[in-house]
Amino acid sequence: MVHSWKTAVKILVIAGICQPAYSLIVWEGKVVTEWPDQHLAALGKGSAGSPPAKAAAGFGFYSHPNALTYGVTMIVDFSDRPAVFTAAQITDWLNKPGFTMGSTKGSVHDYYYEVSNGQLDLENDVYGYYRAQHPKSWYEGLPGYSGSDSLVKEMMNYFDPSVDFSKYDNDKNGTTEAINFVYAGSGQTFAQGLWPHSGNVGQTRDGVRVGRYNMSDMGNSLTLYVFCHENGHMIFGWPDLYWFGDYCIMGNRMSDVNPEAVNDFYRADQGWIPTVDITSSTNARYRVWPNGTGYRYVNPAKTQEMFFWSNVKNTGRWSNLRGRGILLYHFDYTIGGNTSGTQRSLYVVEADGNNAMAGAQWPNPGSAATDFYYQPNKSEFSSSTNPASLWGLRIYNISAIADTMTFYVGTGPIAVRETKLQMVRPVLSSGPAALFNLMGARVGMLGRNGKILGLDGRSIAPGNYIARTPGDIYSFMTAH
């Protein structure tokens, strides 16, 4: 049975196609800071207002898709805006490793495969073209979002005989995760007509609820920012990061062809990078690499609030940044989204203490070398520094900028131990490799056949490990 279109919940996340990204979430006609069902969507259980349970990997604050996630992309053109790209080109744009068109760096699949360190394989099935019933100008001229409502309804009815929507319920919880509508041409008017956005279909097809969707435009060139940004909303439930700057694809729109990576806190939440938990009793020295281990310090009185830091280098998907070094974030899940400079669920703790990004919804510039912690800019974060830490956290003796940086934590004597972790994609598929736990202790060997051998005949407990090849290539892996 197909549920009535008029009963569908009205949800829209509007993404701009001009810089900066003018984005908002609208639920039943009201602007909100995050998906109201986000607490339920993260793991498919719990109640609104309560934190989700911990995911199998990562922290579990946001929805955690399958390693192999299938999406469907339905494409449409119009009598007054016929397609300029073939269905084969759209398929390549979404899926082909190494895709290029103009200056576009990789496919949508490449983007998420890279930022996830090979842990998210997003594959899109492409259907179409469908020729819309009306000219594009008709949909664009309707009030509010009724134009996109009409087009989505048409496309669902047209493609339903061909598409098995149950395939896109990847985790088999009864709701789809990745439904995309992509149209020829560009969006015309902000928050009206076919302006790129994420919403909710609210229909039942093939025995599953067709849930969140992404509507994106093709424009004059197949680029990455809009589609990848909207998939961040749709698949993971990430909010728009206003007052955040250039440090995430959910923040400022720095580049359409090579958009900023997902921030390291969201990546750690997904389990895409390993995390070491620091507590008030930790006294240690650590080494940290770009795209490597992140470090978390949780508010002892409020487990949904924390500091998180990692080594960020302005190359590759991070090349839009104006600096590098250790980047420190503050996260508070109870806030929900970023609604003002003083109400932000996630923000960068700017090392220079200026808190400049709190002064503008779309900070410009959105990054600076002085945002990072490094010698000589700022080598300590504690209760006596500006900005000041909370809950007894002290990070000090932060080294100069390097691919391998060091820092100390704690207030007592340092144990003779270092964490030597790095994460480089792809995950090892064969050995041999030395195996280390997340505290840097060697625990065994990964053989060429993939068999894990413990030291001195000891067994390896299930969990996360670092594998290091003789060529000093490090990979994150999980033993079951």
Residue 399 half-sphere exposure toward CB, CA atoms < 13 A: 14
What does the pLDDT read at residue 35? 52
CB 139 within 8 A of CB 84: no
What does the pLDDT read at residue 414? 82
Q: Which of 158, 154, 146, 407 is nearest to 288 (CA)?
A: 407
Residue scoring higher pLDDT (452 or 283): 283
For range 327-353, the mean pLDDT:
97
Tell me the C-alpha distance between 33 and 241, whole Å.
10
Query: Strand 284-288's sheet: what is its strand order?
Result: 395-396, 405-409, 284-288, 418-421
Q: Residue 361 is encoded by which pair of tokens?
A: 């919804």
Tell me the C-alpha distance between 368 and 252, whole Å.
14
Torsional sign, CA 25, 26, 30, 36: negative
What does the pLDDT read at residue 290? 95
pLDDT at residue 333 above 90? yes
Q: Is the peptide bond before 300 cis (omega within 30 degrees of 0)?
A: no
Q: What is the largest CA-CA distance in the chain?
A: 73
Tell me the C-alpha distance between 215 and 9, whole Å.
16
What does the pLDDT read at residue 463? 66
What does the pLDDT read at residue 97? 97
> Looking at the DSSP assignment, which residues form a beta bridge with residue 443?
none
pLDDT in tens, 391-409: 999 999 999 999 999 999 9
What is the helix (H) or strand (E) element at residue 303, kind and residue range? none
pLDDT at residue 445 above 90? no
Out of 46-60, 66-80, 344-358, least confident range: 46-60
pLDDT in tens, 19-54: 444 444 434 433 344 555 554 444 333 222 333 334
Let me know how many helices (H) and strands (E) the chain has, helices first.
7, 22
What does the pLDDT read at residue 457? 52
pLDDT-derived band at 268 (thresholds 50, 70, 90) equals: very high
Tell me the C-alpha distance between 256 and 418, whole Å.
40
pLDDT in tens, 150-168: 999 999 999 999 999 999 9
pLDDT in tens, 94-104: 999 999 999 99
What does the pLDDT read at residue 479? 57
What does the pLDDT read at residue 288? 95
Pairing of strands 284-288, 418-421: parallel
